[in-house]
A and B are shown apart, each in its own frame.
Chain A
Amino acid sequence: SQELEQSPQSLIVQEGKNLTINCTSSKTLYGLYWYKQKYGEGLIFLMMLQKGGEEKSHEKITAKLDEKKQQSSLHITASQPSHAGIYLCGGGLTNFGNEKLTFGTGTRLTIIP
């Protein structure tokens, strides 16, 4: 079974609208990472969260990690075509940190005009 689940699996959003992607772990996360990927390319690092309750923002993207460190959300405000792609959450699942770095199922984001 997948240790990290993302929802939704795909998302179609009109340009300018806000959206949220969720990531849920069956285990405590020792480091939570958000990446973006364009099809067939490598991953672009967005943000890393480590502490329960932590929140970070970069441009129009905000990521949060819950207090129990088992759930994270990625929120995009006023979406743009450049936000389209596959969003992946990754987490360290051992208390040695990121040695076993597992990723979620991915969310495919499409922005329509």
Chain B
Amino acid sequence: SQTIHQWPATLVQPVGSPLSLECTVEGTSNPNLYWYRQAAGRGLQLLFYSVGIGQISSEVPQNLSASRPQDRQFILSSKKLLLSDSGFYLCAWSSHRGRGNTEAFFGQGTRLTVV
């Protein structure tokens, strides 16, 4: 069965510090991968999505970046965090086109507080 791991669950970082959030998927190959951010009690904002290794689409210009060094690994990074980067970050995966559309499966999220 497929599983998705996202860590850490919570993170408190000072302004200006770097960030690295990691997400890995098991039990599937060539998944679509996503990073979302959610402000308190609001909807999900799509930050990045990837359809393959090294293929990253950015939806919102910001000081965040994403990388996919391996097929089932998706990393969200920042060189210098801003206060406005605080939020709840969710990683997700879905099946790649050609296998039929499936729902996205979500990790448990990382609550990031920038202080």
Q: Which residues of A contact B (CB under 8 A)?
A: 2, 4, 6, 30-31, 33, 35, 39-43, 45, 48, 50, 86, 88, 90, 92, 96-106, 108
Contacts and interface: CB of A to CB of B under 8 A. Distances in A.
B32 A99 contact: yes
A4 B109 CA distance: 22
B103 A45 contact: yes
Q: What is the predominant secondary structure among interface residues of chain A facing chain B?
A: strand
Interface residues of B, number: 29
B90 interface: yes
Contacts of A97: 97, 101
B15 interface: no
A23 to B, nearest CB: 10
Interface in B20-73: 32, 34, 36, 41-46, 49, 51, 57, 59
A99 B92 CA distance: 12
A31 B101 CA distance: 7
